[in-house]
């Protein structure tokens, strides 16, 4: 049974930046295997969608910085857990843990 958050996010429009899998997960959040995604991948996709949605709202600058860095971490496949670093950043009101999540060496 999908959560209320998942159902709300499923109502988000798919955009040109969405892969086929991410669009499918947004459309069917309660059944990620239907989209070829694991539960963990679906959770990441939905968290990413939530972060993008929150960025569109009026937020404190420190929270906007955490969300923007989280999005960059996810898109560029940084080393470390982007989600854990995002939660840390929220708790520290804008201090991203660069020792735990950063761009990979060699440009990735």
Gap between the Cα atoms of 101 and 5, Å rounded: 26
Q: What is the pLDDT of residue 107?
A: 54
Based on the fold, state whether residues 26 and 66 are members of the same structural domain. no
Task: Give the total number of structural domains in the chain.
Answer: 2
Q: Please name the residues in contact with 72: beta carbons below 8 A apart, sequence gap of 6 or more.
A: 78
Based on the fold, state whether residues 72 and 106 are members of the same structural domain. yes
| Percent of the chain residues past pLDDT 70, beyond the cut | 80
At residue 85, does pLDDT exceed 80? Answer: yes
Q: Please name the residues in contact with 108: beta carbons below 8 A apart, sequence gap of 6 or more.
A: 76, 77
Over residues 31-41, the pLDDT tens digits come to 777 888 787 88
**57-89 burial string, b = 16+ CB within 10 Å, else e?**
eeeeeebebbbebbbebbeeebeeebbebbebb
Domain of residue 35: give its range. Answer: 1-57
Let me know: does 73 contact 85? Beta carbons within 8 Å.
yes
Q: How confident is the model at residue 12 (pLDDT cuts 50, 70, 90)?
A: low
Q: What is the pLDDT of residue 99?
A: 95
Based on the fold, state whether residues 52 and 65 are members of the same structural domain. no
Q: 3-state DSSP call for residue 63?
A: helix
In this prediction, residues 4-21 reach a mean pLDDT of 58
At residue 95, does pLDDT exceed 60? Answer: yes
At residue 4, does pLDDT exceed 90? Answer: no
Based on the fold, state whether residues 70 and 101 are members of the same structural domain. yes
Q: Which secondary-structure segment (H or E) carries 7? A: helix 4-10
| Percent of the chain residues past pLDDT 90, beyond the cut | 23
């Amino acid at each position: 049974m999908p959560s209320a958050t998942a159902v709300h996010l499923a109502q988000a429009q798919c955009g040109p930046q969405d892969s086929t899998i991410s669009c499918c997960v947004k459309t069917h959040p309660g059944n990620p295997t239907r989209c070829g995604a694991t539960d963990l991948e679906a959770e990441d996709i939905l968290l990413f969608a939530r972060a993008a949605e929150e960025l569109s709202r009026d937020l404190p600058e420190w929270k906007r910085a955490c969300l923007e860095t989280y999005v960059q971490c996810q898109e560029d496949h940084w080393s470390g857990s982007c989600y854990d670093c995002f939660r840390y950043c929220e708790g520290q009101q804008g201090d991203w843990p660069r020792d735990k999540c950063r761009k990979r060496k060699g440009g990735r």
